[in-house]
Amino acid sequence: MTEIQQKYQSLGGEQGPLGRAVSEEQATPNGLGFFQDFEHGMIFYHADYGAHVLSESVENKWKSSMLANDMVTGTQQAIRDYMGFPISDTLPTGERGEACYFERGMIVVRTSGSSVVIYGECYQAYRAHGDLQGALGLPLNDQRLSAGGGYAVQCDQADIYWHPATGAFEVHGAILQKYRSMGAENAFLGYPISDEQPVFNGSQQIGAVSHFQSGTIYWSASTGAHEAANRQVSLINRLKLVVTRLETDEDDDDLLVRTQVLIDHLQGQQERFDKQFGEYSNQGTKTFSNPDEGFICDCPINDGNAILTVNMQAFDVDDGLNFNDDLIAQFSKSFGIETLWDSSLPDLQGNDLGTFARGPDGKFRASFTVFTDHLVVDPTDSAHFRENLFWSFKNPKIAKLSFETCAATFSDLEADDTWFFHPFNRAFYETVYKSAAKTGTCFGMCLEAIYALKGVSSSRQFISQYSFDAQRTRDIPSNLAINSAVARWAT
């Protein structure tokens, strides 16, 4: 007696739930097992899993044209072939339906009579979240193809989404409703990249969060579910200087140019690069069509205070008896963050690069370009926070700031304000400002100033009543330092 026959007899044979056999036992098309059809179901056998029963409802789904013809993304197999052999008998569900597990999927029959299939990584995620007894509930619909070659499964209490770039994750509750209202995986948030996670304040859970490819949805009882798009910051992290043209006011100069580039950083470090151009016989002008010829330096910058200074001396080489080269002219020009080191704009002294420098033996000017390399980072990326956004300067702590410092910070306060005449000013100092630098002067004081500006300080300051002007717009980005690089733009 074969394993299938033994299984059939153990269920009562013809008097059991399967009824009479309607086919002979036969090998599966792949030759890895056997099966037999009965009036009200099937029995499969595989050496690794044993003999298992498919009920009539499960069999009907398994034999459906969808499972027989629809291909699984990333494979050359139909869904039925991809799912493999059953690894369990058909089992009852808590709602008095049925379910049957396969190697790489499952079929669930609802009490309404509808049957659904899930497979692949969505199936694995479903089982990992408690399966039929889990918080996700039972699958409502067949696993469907979704945007960009992904899959989605709708369950009673949650949705499961899978994409080859993200993996499979669940979304549920109010966050799921918000996600659906925004277009789910078809909209800008994209696919989830995490399951829903609790948010804690100390040991107390205060909300929940789900992360997506291009944003995050937060939920709390007080705010409900709201979306926060991922912010991206473009950081200037390198400066490269290339000379494109050297020019004097004489055509017959034997031109030689000594170049020195200095990059001064915040903490006093200085980098120096030297290069000599020439001698160019009987050429008062030299143009570099190849950037490699005019290349001087490629230097990383680690703060927004880096100053790039270019010093150039132009000589007319003297091959005479005294061998003293004649200094034609020289100049020094410096560029900083104010112009994003753009050499096409006036330098820090207000001088235009295109102006000739006058010297003892003529005039000289040079054209050069400062190229900036950029790195786009996600400031919410906690795994790489230190590399992306760690401040490159020290942040000293001060246990107590004086009222005089507070008065110097806010224009509506005076150093001699007393409790009697100015109780609100003194209260602001005692409750907010005095200890603002305990964790660090930069974070404490600057953050409180931004809070005040936005009108969300714990003590409303008058600064919030004034509209933005050009100067304030310039001041804010100038005072927001980011890492070992400089913010070029943010979204």
Residue 384 has pLDDT above 80, yes or no: no
Tell me: pLDDT of 482 over 90.
no
Q: What angle do CA 40, 89, 80 make, to 5 degrees?
A: 80
> Residue 110 in contact with residue 87, Cβ under 8 Å?
no
Amino acid at 451: Y
Cα 296 from chain centroid (whole Å): 34
Cα–Cα distance, 41 to 21 (Å, whole number) = 9
Specify whether the CB–CB gap between 256 and 317 falls below 8 A: yes
Contact 370, 403 (CB under 8 A): no
Tell me which amino acid residue 160 is.
Answer: I
Residue 396 binned pLDDT confidence (cut-offs 50, 70, 90): low
Residue 347 pLDDT exceeds 90: no
Q: How confident is the model at residue 381, as a pLDDT? A: 58
> Given the DSSP bridges, would you call strands 233-248 and 486-490 parallel, antiparallel or unpaired?
antiparallel
**Tokens, residue 141:** 């619909």
Q: Which of 326, 310, 330 is nearest to 318 (CA)?
A: 326
Can you give the pLDDT at residue 392? 44
Q: How far is CA 490 from the centre of its chain?
A: 12
Of residues 453 and 85, more confidence is placed in: 85
pLDDT value of position 61: 97
N-term to C-term CA, the chain = 71
- Pick among 2.60.40, 1.10.3470, 2.20.70, 1.10.8: CATH of 235-375: 2.60.40
Model confidence at 466, pLDDT cuts 50, 70, 90, reads: very low
**Residues making up the chain, counted from first to last:** 491
pLDDT tens digits for 127-166? 999 999 999 999 999 999 999 999 999 999 999 999 999 9
Q: CA nearest 122: which of 163, 162, 90? A: 162
Instruction: Tell me: pLDDT of 487 over 70.
Output: no
Residue 459: is its pLDDT beyond 50? no
Share of the chain above pLDDT 70, in %: 81
Structure-block tokens of residue 324: 């003293």
pLDDT band at 433 (very low <50, low <70, confident <90, very high): confident
Domain range list for the chain: 3-164, 235-375, 393-490
Question: Are the beta carbons of 297 and 369 closer than 8 angstroms?
Answer: no
Look at residues 298, 354, 302, 305 and name the one whose alpha carbon lies nearest to residue 331: 354
Query: Tokens 């309404």 sit at which residue?
Result: 112
Output the pTM of the full model: 0.51
